Amino acid sequence: GNSVTQMEGPVTLSEEAFLTINCTYTATGYPSLFWYVQYPGEGLQLLLKATKADDKGSNKGFEATYRKETTSFHLEKGSVQVSDSAVYFCALSDGNTGGFKTIFGAGTRLFVKA
């Protein structure tokens, strides 16, 4: 079945450091890929998405590229801020976005120190 594997946390970085959170997936079809973020005390929010191979999703300085050849969707940010401290979830969805169930990774907690 479909699955998502992401790097275990926690990840601790200093402010302005470069961030990479690895995510790989297994899927039989052509899923859409997502990164969701959960800030402390808040609900899950969509951070970015990509719907087909080689698409790059970006938002708030975060980027991720849909790599079909390596079945990966790694999250990157060039310079993290304290306010980026949160739990990040990689996810995939069968078929078109939203119309089908979403499968989530276990989450990676990020701590950014001032």
Pair of tokens at residue 91: 């996810």
> Does residue 99 touch other proteins according to CB under 8 A?
yes
Assess 43 for contact with other proteins (CB under 8 A): yes
Contact 34, 82 (CB under 8 A): no
Task: Quote the tokens at residue 44.
Answer: 């899950």
Which of these segments, 52-60, 64-72, 76-84, 94-102, binds other proteins (CB under 8 A)? 94-102
Whole-number Å distance between alpha carbons of 107 and 14: 20
Q: Which of 112, 89, 93, 90 shows the shortest CA–CA distance to 102?
A: 93
* 31 touches other proteins by CB under 8 A: no
Interface with other proteins by CB under 8 A: which range of 16-24, 56-64, 75-83, 92-100?
Answer: 92-100
Does residue 45 touch other proteins according to CB under 8 A? yes
# binding residues, other proteins (CB under 8 A): 21
